[in-house]
Amino acid sequence: KVDEELDPKVASALDFVMSKAGQGLQKAGEKLADTKTTDLQKKVAELKASMDNGSNLDEQITDEDTMNQFMEEMSQMEDTDMSEDMMDVANPKELATGAFVTVAHEGTGNVRLIKLGDGSDTIVRLENLDVLNGPDLRVVLSKSSDVEKAGHLGEYIELGALKGNKGNQNYVVPADADVSEYNSVVIYCKAFRVVFNSANLVTSK
């Protein structure tokens, strides 16, 4: 009959093996965590270095913990390309145009405010957009000009979440909005109250 209890020497040897295996797994986990932390720190450093010299991000986020959280989320964002065609209508009328400038982050692209026809929608169309992606980005139509921080937005309409940080996109303006009162289009991070880019609107002739 085989003894149901392990020999003490065998049990001791098994405990030793299990202990070493556990230590190995712990070290492997620590190494993986260190690698992920290092990669994240590297991405954050690269992100900071890539900022345009004219960035006013430090003026918009003054709390260090909030800044660190913002930079960490930014480092995990990937580019999103969206290409929407101009809506096919008979008599579109261009009301105003603009070009994005760097505020918190470098970016370029053109803005067109277009009336699609009598009794039809008015849209904000972004063309050749190339801005930095970020968390909770929104497209905002503001009554203010030269918007550089959340406090500059004044009265505004949120047209929706940014569909992509690259490409061409259309955003419908609410029918009851008097677009003649609005002076800029802004790419705005709502979660952290950061203005990424803004474009002043110039009335088309």
How many CB atoms are closer than 10 A to CB 191? 14
Would you state the pLDDT for residue 95?
96
User: From CA 143, how far away is CA 132, in angstroms rounded?
Assistant: 24
Task: Please report the sign of the dihedral spanned by the C-alpha atoms of residue 148, residue 93, residue 164, residue 167.
Answer: negative
CB 153 within 8 A of CB 142: yes
Distance of CA 178 to the CA centre of its chain: 28
Would you state the pLDDT for residue 11?
58
Q: How confident is the model over 138-189, as pLDDT tens digits?
A: 999 999 999 998 889 999 999 999 999 999 999 999 999 999 999 999 999 8
Q: What is the pTM for the complete model shown?
A: 0.69
Q: Residue 149, class by beta-carbon neighbours within 10 Å (0-12 exposed, 13-18 middle, 19+ buried)?
A: middle
Would you state the pLDDT for residue 100?
97
Would you state the pLDDT for residue 104?
84
Q: How confident is the model over 45-64, as pLDDT tens digits?
A: 555 554 545 566 666 666 67
Find, among 92, 126, 100, 122, the residue nearest to 112 by Cα.
126
Label the pairing between strands 81-83 and 194-200.
Answer: unpaired
Q: How confident is the model over 95-131, as pLDDT tens digits?
A: 999 999 999 888 999 999 999 987 789 999 999 999 9
Query: Comparing 86 with 50, which gets the higher pLDDT?
Result: 86
Cα-atom radius of gyration of the chain, to the nearest Å? Answer: 26
Would you state the pLDDT for residue 3?
46
Would you state the pLDDT for residue 2?
41
